[in-house]
Amino acid sequence: MFAMLGNGRLALMLMLTTMASWTQAAPNSEVLEYGYYEFVGEAQRLSSRKATSGFVTRGDAKLVEQTDRIPIAPGRLFGFRFRFSGMNRNVGVMPLELVVEHPPMTKPDGTVSTGYRYFLELAMKDGVVEDKTGYRLNEVYEQVEGEWRFVYRFMNKPILEQRFITYWPED
């Protein structure tokens, strides 16, 4: 049920018009590069209750090797750069859900995590969003072999997926 303030019909029309503009413009999506990266300059580690480790790391990163097979190493950063386009040019943000599935990790408190999800809004310019996402293997319990799956969802539908396999390299 929607609460209408002031002119209820006007509010309903604005809401329906906004929803129609989203549904008419299904985004195009593409992965531009993927693999493992290294930070260029200083990276910032921030608290995040939603991430498996409880932290996210932000900073500028450059691609080291394009691959979907990621050798495990302490601090290894892997992920991908992507673009969403074809959206309404008048809309300023794109509401998304990021779903990450990863191999089972036993955290220090004894709980087991197999992934996480959160909602985000990415800033758009002229109907286009370009960004990077990934994961950094900081903690020993995060350094596990197996399949990783990153899925961006728009309006409850998957629009972009990237998979990786982490493995222990042979000496």
Query: Taking the model in full, what pTM does it have?
Result: 0.81
Both structure tokens of 166: 């982490």
What CATH number does domain 26-167 carry, 2.60.40.2390, 3.40.50.2000, 3.40.710.10, 3.40.50.1100?
2.60.40.2390
Nearest CA-CA partner of 35 in 67, 82, 72, 76: 67
Task: Give the DSSP letter string of 116-144.
Answer: EEEEEEEE-BTTBEEEEEEEEE-SGGG--
13-62: pLDDT as tens digits: 444 444 444 444 569 999 999 999 999 988 888 888 777 777 778 888 99
| Distances, alpha carbon 21 to alpha carbons 9, 42, 120, 156, in Å | 18, 39, 19, 16
Q: How far apart are CA 49 and CA 56, in angstroms?
A: 9
Report domain extents, the chain. Answer: 26-167
End-to-end CA distance of the chain: 61
- The average confidence (pLDDT) of the chain is 86
Helices (H) and strands (E) in the chain, counts: 1, 11
| C-alpha angle 57-38-153 in degrees, rounded to nearest 5 | 55
CB 37 within 8 A of CB 7: no
63-87: pLDDT as tens digits: 999 999 999 999 999 999 999 999 9
